[in-house]
A = this chain, B = another copy of it.
Amino acid sequence: MAATDARTGREDRILDIIATARAKRPKFRDERITMAHGAGGKATAALIEGLLVPAFASPALDELADAGALAVDGAQLALTTDSFVVKPIRFPGGSIGELAVNGTVNDLAVAGARPLALTLSLILEEGLDTGVLRAEVDAIASAARAAGVEIVAGDTKVVERGHADQLYICTTGVGRRDPRARLSPAALRPGDRVLVSGPIGEHGTAIMLARGEFDLGATVESDTRPLWPAVDALLDAAGPGLRCLRDATRGGVASVLNELARASGVALLVHERAVPVNPVVTGAAELLGIDPMHVANEGVFVAVVAAEQAGAALAALRGAGDGETFARAAEIGEVKTEPPALVLVETAFGGKRVMDQLVGDPLPRIC
């Protein structure tokens, strides 16, 4: 994608064309599934929006939010589901079991719903060491306690040796939509501020290092953690000024920002210098030739907040939980009108470029 200069305000035909294409529902025309379809970037979006969502004709799915809404006898529920296939299953800072709980309760949290309960479905590989299974069962139980959710239903299947990688876990979460939350990409307004809840790229980097694919004289721990306490604090501080939340998992912060820009039709401008990134993540990303904005997180979300509430929201976020976990939350950008449906990055040198969604992924199987 060509670098552009949006500061002059002149019409830029290239951006116009990109924006028009971006606003359309992507087509799904591939003949074979590739790893890219699971990486959370463009191919995943084409699969979901081009094949799955149209087939099921469901208003809840049409919103493409992290959780679907369901009302039952006056109860306002949120539902979300996620399969976890991370490899390796244990890594610095966490494991597949902890991820399976946090990933799912966080999808509820960023939908503005307090997590209440989980279901758990295990696909086990024949020959799996039951000590490994016990450790993950304990990790699940402990993460569920920490997140305050009960496991209310379960299932177990076994597939032949070689037909899974030790274990795959599918968790489904049920939450109560918080009456304070009026979250939707459609609520984004020019002038709104974009916050990020902490340093980015740590989960993806931790997995990459745990795979031993390249040598770096440092370790990074996954950022997996439950996000509801932070969301709760934001809802208190910003009220209806809190426009929208997204957790920046597969595809990283860049994919989430692109999803928001596309869904809302606005432009997002990100100040690259303002984005918190730890040096070891920057170093690993440079070695691999990728942008930390494309690296997966498990405990980081993006919030869009009305300008008037941005200061209070950031302060509340930084003090949420134990007061340390979100201490490095930052304001990283703002909502603009032009070019619609695009994300622009203002680099450290003052230039601007389009920040695209991830295409393919050098790091599949990170969650």
**A118-150 interface bits toward B, Cβ cutoff 8 Å, 1 = contact, 0 = none:** 011111111111110110011011001000001
**A30-46 interface bits toward B, Cβ cutoff 8 Å, 1 = contact, 0 = none:** 11111111110000100
Q: Is the C-beta of A174 less than 8 angstroms from some C-beta in chain B?
A: yes
Smallest CB gap from A37: residue in B = B158
Q: Chain A: how many interface residues by the 8 Å CB criterion? A: 84
Smallest CB gap from A144: residue in B = B56
Q: How far is the CA of A74 from the CA of B71 in the complex (A)?
A: 12
In the bound complex, residues from chain B placing their C-beta under 8 Å from that of A364 are 158, 160
Q: Is the C-beta of A332 less than 8 angstroms from some C-beta in chain B?
A: no
- A85 and B174 contacting across the interface, CB-CB below 8 Å: no
Q: Is the C-beta of A165 less than 8 angstroms from some C-beta in chain B?
A: yes
Oligomer copy total: 2
- B79 and A152 contacting across the interface, CB-CB below 8 Å: yes
In the bound complex, residues from chain B placing their C-beta under 8 Å from that of A168 are 123, 159, 168
In the bound complex, residues from chain B placing their C-beta under 8 Å from that of A159 are 38, 85, 164-165, 168, 365
Smallest CB gap from A86: residue in B = B157
Q: How far is the CA of A116 from the CA of B47 in the complex (A)?
A: 25
Q: Is the C-beta of A172 less than 8 angstroms from some C-beta in chain B?
A: yes
Q: How far is the CA of A153 from the CA of B80 in the complex (A)?
A: 5
Q: Do A153 and B52 form a contact, CB below 8 Å, given A168-B123, A174-B70?
A: no
Q: Is the C-beta of A6 less than 8 angstroms from some C-beta in chain B?
A: no
Q: Do A130 and B33 form a contact, CB below 8 Å, given A72-B116, A152-B69, A170-B170?
A: yes
In the bound complex, residues from chain B placing their C-beta under 8 Å from that of A131 are 31
Smallest CB gap from A38: residue in B = B158
Q: Is the C-beta of A162 less than 8 angstroms from some C-beta in chain B?
A: yes
- B176 and A60 contacting across the interface, CB-CB below 8 Å: no
- A81 and B38 contacting across the interface, CB-CB below 8 Å: no
Q: Is the C-beta of A92 less than 8 angstroms from some C-beta in chain B?
A: no
- B55 and A154 contacting across the interface, CB-CB below 8 Å: no
Q: Is the C-beta of A61 less than 8 angstroms from some C-beta in chain B?
A: yes
Q: Is the C-beta of A8 less than 8 angstroms from some C-beta in chain B?
A: no
In the bound complex, residues from chain B placing their C-beta under 8 Å from that of A83 are 121-123, 155, 157, 170
**Cβ contact of A134, chosen from B44, B51, B119, B134, cutoff 8 A:** B51
Q: Is the C-beta of A291 less than 8 angstroms from some C-beta in chain B?
A: no
- B119 and A68 contacting across the interface, CB-CB below 8 Å: yes
Smallest CB gap from A145: residue in B = B57
Q: How far is the CA of A122 from the CA of B85 in the complex (A)?
A: 11
Smallest CB gap from A124: residue in B = B33
User: From residue A56, how far is it (CB to closest CB) to chain B in Å?
Assistant: 4
In the bound complex, residues from chain B placing their C-beta under 8 Å from that of A137 are 51-52, 55-56
Could you list some 29 contacts between A and B, CB below 8 A?
Answer: A31-B129, A32-B130, A33-B126, A34-B158, A35-B160, A38-B157, A48-B156, A55-B140, A56-B151, A58-B152, A61-B152, A61-B153, A68-B152, A70-B116, A73-B176, A74-B75, A77-B174, A79-B172, A81-B120, A81-B153, A82-B121, A83-B121, A83-B122, A83-B155, A83-B157, A83-B170, A155-B170, A162-B163, A163-B163
Supply 8 further A-B pairs (C-beta < 8 A) apart from A55-B141, A85-B157.
A30-B130, A33-B124, A33-B125, A34-B127, A56-B120, A60-B151, A73-B75, A162-B163
